[in-house]
């Protein structure tokens, strides 16, 4: 058995920030999960539906791996990414890092992981690999998925090789912290500003605050869109509130990031943004509850209520990001 020392499970909520935390702590940089999410400008929104989807998808963050690229670029860290179509080469690469005493981040499809608690395909899942033996891989995943977990080497290979939406070609990555990284506190306001700019100027109508408004218009019709309303609506609500999002479709995580920033930076706009994202997080939780209730009760009227709440969420998040976008100009 080969295991990297000093790797600990922190019981975090989101897969990509969980893996980033493991890799960065091993390099001596210890940041909270909200700071990792916020410095990576991770918050976003997309409403996605199409012929290839069984049911519409609500995404509350940037696309998989963009957060990692944003964070490492902003802090001046050395991100090394490897991809290959060969499962053999993919395993040899990560095994070499573990043998050298360095944990590795992996992007994969969680469907194949033996410990995973819901059998759904999601090709943008990220874990940290910190050890292996002849039969199993030792991983750190989110708290809800068990934290420090194991899966067979065969299942890990299948998860890494899966093709489909949001998957990568056996992607693995390592991060090195230089002797003089950029001070993370100096990057807080630029990260907030970049996130606000992207959210307000999303290039398509189903993204950003306009995407939330589109969801408000579409969710009331989900009853007819669902193949099995009870199953599909409950699953959608579960993913929104508990599917590695930290609650409130990542809004609670971003609220906490802004709260940590407000403790370090005395700025009225920042405090206002923090308050507004606290409101948004609570309303997103209400939306998930109403969608779940529609499925459980068989009453589609709850979906109309959810749509009304989403209209208010769109307004609040639009206002919050307009306020937060002013931060860079004011400092």
Bridge partners of residue 78, in order along the sequence: 176
Residue 284 has pLDDT above 60, yes or no: yes
Average pLDDT over residues 189-199: 97
Count of other CB atoms within 10 angstroms of residue 249: 27
* Continuous segment of H or E residues that includes residue 181: none
Strands 57-61 and 78-82: unpaired
What pLDDT score does 62 carry? 96
Report the top-level CATH class of 2-30+78-176. alpha beta
Q: pTM (2 decimals)? A: 0.96
What pLDDT score does 7 carry? 94
Asked whether 148 and 140 are in contact (CB, 8 A), the reply is yes
Query: So where are the chain's domains?
Result: 2-30+78-176, 184-330
Average pLDDT over residues 223-248: 91
Kindly indicate the confidence band of residue 120, based on its pLDDT and cuts at 50, 70 and 90. Answer: confident
Backbone angles phi, psi at 27, to 5 degrees: -90, 0
Kindly indicate the confidence band of residue 330, based on its pLDDT and cuts at 50, 70 and 90. Answer: low
Kindly indicate the confidence band of residue 242, based on its pLDDT and cuts at 50, 70 and 90. Answer: confident
Least confident of 34-48, 52-66, 85-99: 52-66
The token pair at 60 is: 């509350």
């Amino acid at each position: 058995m080969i295991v990297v020392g000093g790797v600990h499970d922190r019981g975090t909520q989101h897969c990509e920030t969980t893996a980033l935390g493991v890799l960065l702590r091993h390099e001596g940089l210890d940041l909270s999960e909200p700071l990792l999410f916020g410095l990576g400008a991770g918050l976003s929104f997309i409403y996605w539906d199409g012929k290839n989807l069984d049911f519409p998808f609500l995404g509350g963050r940037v696309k998989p791996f963009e957060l990692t690229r944003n964070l490492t670029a902003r802090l001046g860290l050395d991100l090394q990414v490897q991809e290959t179509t060969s499962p053999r080469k993919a395993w040899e690469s990560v095994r070499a890092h573990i043998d050298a005493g360095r944990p590795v981040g992996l992007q994969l499809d969680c469907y194949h992981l033996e410990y995973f608690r819901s059998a759904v395909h999601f090709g943008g899942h990220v874990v940290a690999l910190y050890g292996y033996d002849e039969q199993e891989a030792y991983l750190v995943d989110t708290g809800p998925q068990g934290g420090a977990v194991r899966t067979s080497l065969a299942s890990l290979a299948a998860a890494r090789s899966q093709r489909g939406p949001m998957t990568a070609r056996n992607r693995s990555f390592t991060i090195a912290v230089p002797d003089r990284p950029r001070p993370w506190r100096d990057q807080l306001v630029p990260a907030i500003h970049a996130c606000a700019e992207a959210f307000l100027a999303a290039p398509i109508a189903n993204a950003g605050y306009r995407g939330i408004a589109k969801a408000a218009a579409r969710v009331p019709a989900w009853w007819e869109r669902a193949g099995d309303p009870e199953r599909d609506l409950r699953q959608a609500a579960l993913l929104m509130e508990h599917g590695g999002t930290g609650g409130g479709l990542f809004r609670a995580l971003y609220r906490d990031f802004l709260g940590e920033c407000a403790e370090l930076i005395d700025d009225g706009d920042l405090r206002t943004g923090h308050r507004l994202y606290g409101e948004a997080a609570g309303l997103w939780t209400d939306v998930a509850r109403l969608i779940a209730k529609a499925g459980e009760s068989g009453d589609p009227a709850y979906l109309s209520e959810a749509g009304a709440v989403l209209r208010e969420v769109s307004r609040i998040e639009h206002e919050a990001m307009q306020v937060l976008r002013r931060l860079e100009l004011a400092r």
